[in-house]
Amino acid sequence: MPPGLVIFDCDGVLVDSETISLSVMLSVLAEAGCVLTVQEGYAHFLGKSLGSVGEWLKRERGVTLTDALLAEMRHRLLSRFEADLQPIPGVAEAITALDLPVCVASSSQPDRIRLSLRVTGLLPLFEPQIFSATMVANGKPAPDLFLLAARTLGVDPADCVVIEDSPAGLTAARAAGMRAVGFVGGAHAEPANLRLEVEKLAPESIIDTMADLPAVLRGLG
């Protein structure tokens, strides 16, 4: 049987946003006196909710994400997205070819998810099945968000397949009892050393082009 639900992460899977997001975050943090390398940023922020990022910054760097910092980060990020954000190549065609129920489950806030999908032309493929970490108590790597999506759409977690680029997301999928496909084709894959990090978590398959996704999911069925 084919999967009952395919759950897509958004950033780095549907939209090629991770290099933009990290650039903005590191710039704002540096202006606040917290200088991090690109490698540190990917290692500690990739795929994680803003709450998890804030906890790490407070614990490891003594930096509090104040309302002013968050507002500046948000303003710059959404402006960059409106101007520069692109979809992952071939993702719309791959989703259409699946002919399966799909949804989005992202660590980002709901308005950012919808903006990302709108400017890249992907929103009609998912609306209204969009789930944000703001809807659950614990973001990725906890399984809460994926379990919420499955429960809301009436699908057994064992019948779900998650498409993720981040170790946090793949960990969440495993904790939710779901199969996973690791995607390592975003612009951030090389600077984040993504393939190696994804391989460590041994998902059912790893792809670097969305054109391969339909065949991979048929194989999982």
Q: Which residues are catalytic?
A: 9, 11
Closest CA to 87 of 17, 23, 163: 17
Q: Measured between alpha carbons, how far is residue 108 from residues 77, 82, 85, 130, 139 in Å?
A: 12, 16, 15, 11, 10
Based on its alpha-carbon atoms, the radius of gyration of the chain, rounded to whole angstroms, reads 16
Helices vs. strands in the chain: H and E counts, helices first? 11, 6
At 110, the amino acid letter reads: P
Task: Write phi, then psi, for 165 (nearest 5 degrees).
Answer: -110, -15
